[in-house]
Amino acid sequence: MTYSVKPKFHHPALPVNELGFTHRDYEGSVSTLCAGCGHDSISAAIIQACFELDLPPHRIAKLSGIGCSSKTPDYFLGQSHGFNSVHGRMPSVLTGANLANRDLIYLGVSGDGDSASIGFGQFAHSIRRGVNMLYIVENNGVYGLTKGQFSATSDRGSKSKYGAVNSDSAIDMIAMALQLGATYVARGFSGDKAQLVPLIKGAINHHGAAFIDCISPCVAFNNHVGSTKSFDYVREHNEAVNRLDVMIEHAPITADYAPGTVELVTQHDGTVLRLRKIASHYDPNDRIAAMTYLQERAAAGEIVTGLLYVDPQGQDLHDYLNTVEKPLNELGTADLVPGAAALETFNDTLR
Ligand SMILES: Cc1ncc(C[n+]2csc(CCOP(=O)(O)OP(=O)(O)O)c2C)c(N)n1
Ligand code: SF4
Ligand SMILES: [Mg+2]
């Protein structure tokens, strides 16, 4: 047995959500990751986001590749659909599942090794196709599972635990996601759950390809002085451009904000993203400006976090392909084999 099941009992006064579920109903088995691993904090944030959104667990499908990060779906949403694929192949499996059943909420969980090396092409094509999903990269700058080799997101000049200096330039997954056309792009930090939970909630409610790059320190192999993915380094260089609150219904703003410091973005499904600006000139609706800003701040050694870009009216792969509303896996023989007359009519359209 490679995992431990959590005991079922819980405090009788645990809060319940609108479905009558407690937090425990969104948990999975006991984590086998190293104590203090950033990935466990991301699992906790996913659990909280799904609990707060009142999501029925059976409506969620979580998919992953290979790595410590890709193991995490075992540790949350134990009552949801799950598929642990092979290294770097999560995006194509998720795309296929999404095409077959558009009614589920898709959560792709990956690592920087899984998505920025072997799965780079798969990552790119799932984003550019606009697959309706939340794609999270739990980014620690190393291959944690295989004992700490530099990954493709490791910064040039970053030092390994054993003193080697990384000479390759880093792939910035946010820059890639922006360039590839993701319609919701955010960066979080596993050490800041207050920021991360709303970013996940907003992404789940987004229609189209939502991408979160979550810096998630590896305490075993990349949390030392000289690493640019350590808890200390990220805390010191974290530059949040905004703070997000997700409102399921359009509630009046009660807090007192200075004019121009709050922006409301209504998404496709009616959820409202309330963005409190920290960097006053940062505009999360401007893809080109976001790309420039991120590169400027990265050159200055800063790690920009927050909701970096959103297109609230984004489209998804099903919109582009003009598929039927009914999930394809629910179509019956009558829909799939419409007969010779229907085939003839269709063929006429191609002549
Ligand atoms: C086809 C294939 N190549 C290589 C490996 C070895 N391998 C397992 S996990 C991994 C990298 C994991 O890194 P990352 O995705 O960053 O996850 P982390 O463990 O850091 O969370 C590698 C190279 C593999 N399992 N399969
Ligand atoms: S090796 Fe690193 S990434 Fe893997 S569980 Fe341990 S701390 Fe987390
Ligand atoms: Mg990694």
pLDDT at site 298: 93
Closest of 279, 122, 138 to residue 200, by C-alpha: 138
Distances (CA, A) of 196 to 46, 340, 342, 346: 9, 54, 50, 48
The verdict on the CB of residue 218 being under 6 Å from ligand 2 is yes
Question: To test ligand 2's pocket by mutation, which of 219, 223, 224, 230 has the most ligand atoms within 8 angstroms of CB?
Answer: 219
Query: CA-to-CA distance for 195 and 210, rounded, in angstroms?
Result: 16
Work out which ligand 1 atom sits closest to the CA atom of 140. Answer: 20
pLDDT at site 279: 87
CB 130 within 8 A of CB 320: yes
pLDDT at site 260: 60
Question: To test ligand 2's pocket by mutation, which of 3, 34, 139, 230 has the most ligand atoms within 8 angstroms of CB?
Answer: 34
Which protein residue's CA is at the shortest distance from atom 9 of ligand 1?
67
Query: CA-to-CA distance for 79 and 42, rounded, in angstroms?
Result: 18
How far is it between the farthest Cα atoms of the chain? 71
Closest of 78, 51, 49, 48 to residue 62, by C-alpha: 78
Distance 262 CA to ligand 1 centre (A): 41
**Amino acid type, 316:** D
CB 60 within 8 A of CB 50: yes
pLDDT at site 249: 66
Which protein residue's CA is at the shortest distance from atom 2 of ligand 1?
87
CB 265 within 8 A of CB 204: no
Q: How many CB atoms lie within 10 A of CB 164?
A: 11
Work out which ligand 2 atom sits closest to the CA atom of 38. Answer: 8
Distance 57 CA to ligand 1 centre (A): 28
pLDDT means per 10 residues in the chain (351 residues)?
Answer: 70 92 96 98 98 98 98 97 98 98 98 98 98 98 98 96 96 98 98 96 97 98 97 96 84 54 86 87 94 94 96 95 96 92 94 92
Which protein residue's CA is at the shortest distance from atom 2 of ligand 2?
218
- Joined together, the tokens standing for residue 200 give 């996940």
CB 52 within 8 A of CB 79: no
The verdict on the CB of residue 42 being under 6 Å from ligand 2 is no
The verdict on the CB of residue 219 being under 6 Å from ligand 2 is yes
